[in-house]
Chains A and B, each alone.
Chain A
Amino acid sequence: MKIQILGSGCANCHKVEETAKQAIAQMAIDAQVELVTDMQTIMRYGVLQTPGIVIDDNVVSTGRVPALSQMVTLIADSIARQGT
């Protein structure tokens, strides 16, 4: 699983990156977290509000900093979608 955090490198983006890492540790799953600051990539995903969260090429959240529990839900939902 690949989790990408899209943002211009602002404080909120780093917060989301941290939360994603914590969520992965808590769920004990194999995933990489990557911070994407390249504007071209951000625009390709159509993210107008940063920070954006992309899990395996799916935009799952934009423009906010989810709490840890919400991050866990986002990841769990993505796993569930891929399973079906």
Chain B
Amino acid sequence: MTTGILKPSAHRGDTRAFSLVAIAAILWLIAYSQLENFAQWLTYALLRLEPETHLADSVEFFLADVPKILLLLSGTIFGVTILRTFFSAERARQLLGGKRQGIGNLLAAMLGIITPFCSCSAVPLFIGFVESGIPLGVTFSFLMASPMVNEVALVMLFGLFGWQVAVMYAGAGVAIAITAGWVIGALGLEKYVEDFVWKLGVGAGVDESRNLTWTDRIERGGSAVKEIVAWVWLYVVIGIAFGAGIHGYVPENFLAEILGPRNPLAVIAAVLVGIPLYSNAAGVMPVVSALMEKGAGLGTVLAFMMAVVGLSLPEMIILRRVLKWELIAIFIGVMAVGIIAIGILFNLVS
């Protein structure tokens, strides 16, 4: 069996692709700098709404935030996708080979975020990793990191609540992936991996990240933007419309009593409700922004979001093919405890 020769690289020069990116970047910057003027112009000059009313407030908020989030999303997805073309699961496997618990979990979580993979690849990834001797806990850190730190969620948090919340979310996600993977490794749960996994022969892998031209990488960035924006724009519009309505009409601190930062039970409830729910990051944002605006604690809201986005039932069902149910239960349990702990911690410091 031979491993493939991937795309004999035809260097037709990448100048054209670079020029297109430069033009797009300039247009992006111009558009981004004019967002607020544009929203004000639309609201007051074109729609002729009365300033300082609930309606005008909501409309202006909506008109400024929809293009802002869509621009941020496009820019981020483009950049992240290009960065990811330099990484592959095969490269992660080589880098993690021979790494132990601890440092291995840290490295795995970092690689998990930056390596492009979809949850439908979870099974071959899992088998490939444990077969090549990567410890079980390190493999889990890798698999957990990507859904825990979701780039769409990150951008929307940044756009709607500022960079502090976005950074907290990313930091919390990495911390949970590292710790939960480490705990699973320390518990010695190899016996709960389906027996056939240890008996499969794994061929030499393929690393597609090396032979790409810049034109290829830029093309992939562009098509990822198209694909993801085409899919999430509706959620963005609904989410912001929700947020805008609340921004203009609902009194602040409406939910502060029940879901406020001083109630640790709210965090636990949020996680327990969030685990069986499954939605993509963009879909859960309307709820998140509504809860935040009404005075729910930051930790409570982030915990809810991480439980919904990071712990997905479909992925658990896919993983059931290689893991016995005991390990799946432990996996969910460890993650849930981690998310609850982070939620309570954030509520205490915020």
Residues of A within 8 A of B5 (CB): 58, 81
B22 to chain A, nearest CB (A): 24
Scoring B residues 50 to 74 as 1 if CB is less than 8 Å from chain A, else 0, what string do you get?
A: 0000000000000000000000000
**Are A61 and B128 interface neighbours, CB within 8 A?**
no
> How far does the alpha carbon of A29 sit from the alpha carbon of B110 in the complex, in Å?
44
Contact of A39 among B1, B8, B89, B123 (CB under 8 A): B123
Against B, the Cβ 8 Å flags (1 = close, 0 = not) of A39-64 are: 11011111111101010011111111
Nearest chain A CB to B201's CB is how many angstroms away?
Answer: 6
Shortest Cβ distance from A74 into B: residue:
B7
Q: Chain B contacts of A60 at CB under 8 A?
A: 4, 6-7
Chain A residues contacting B329 (CB-CB under 8 Å) are none
CA distance A57 to B3 in the complex (A): 8
- Residue B250 CB within 8 A of the other chain: no
Q: Which residues on the B side are within 8 Å of A39 (C-beta)? A: 123-124, 127, 200, 321
Q: Which residues of B contact A8 (CB under 8 A)?
A: 120, 123-124, 318
Q: At the interface with chain A, which of B161-169, B204-212, B278-286?
A: B204-212
Contacts A43-B200, A58-B4, A77-B7; A48 near B120 (Cβ below 8 A): no
CB pair B124–A47 under 8 Å, yes or no, is yes
User: Residues of A within 8 Å of B, CB-based: how many?
Assistant: 30
Closest to A80 in B: B8
Contact indicator B205/A46 (Cβ below 8 Å): yes
Contacts of B121 in A (CB 8 A): 48-50, 63
The reply to whether A50 and B206 contact each other, CB–CB distance below 8 Å, is no
Give A74 to B7 CA distance when docked, in angstroms: 7
Would you call B287 an interface residue if the criterion is a C-beta within 8 Å of the partner chain's C-beta atoms?
no
How far, in angstroms, from A53 to B57 measured CA to CA in the complex?
A: 52
Residues facing A in B195-222 (CB within 8 A) are 200-206, 208, 220
List residues 94-135 of chain B with CB under 8 A from any CB of chain A: 116-118, 120-121, 123-125, 127-129, 131
- With most chain A CB atoms within 10 A of its CB, the pick from B8, B93, B124 is B124
Q: A12-B118, A39-B127, A57-B2 are in contact. Are A46 and B204 (CB under 8 A)?
A: yes
16 contacts between A and B (CB under 8 A): A8-B124, A43-B200, A44-B201, A46-B206, A47-B124, A47-B206, A48-B89, A48-B128, A48-B129, A49-B89, A60-B4, A60-B6, A61-B4, A63-B89, A63-B118, A77-B8
The 5 closest A-B pairs by CB, nearest first: A46-B203, A59-B4, A46-B205, A48-B89, A10-B120
Listed in ascending order, the chain B residues whose CB lies under 8 Å from chain A are: 1-8, 88-90, 93, 116-118, 120-121, 123-125, 127-129, 131, 200-206, 208, 220, 223, 318, 321
Beyond known contacts A49-B88, A54-B4: 19 more, CB 8 A cutoff: A7-B120, A10-B120, A39-B124, A39-B200, A43-B127, A43-B201, A45-B1, A46-B206, A47-B205, A47-B206, A48-B93, A49-B117, A49-B121, A49-B125, A58-B3, A61-B208, A63-B116, A67-B223, A77-B7
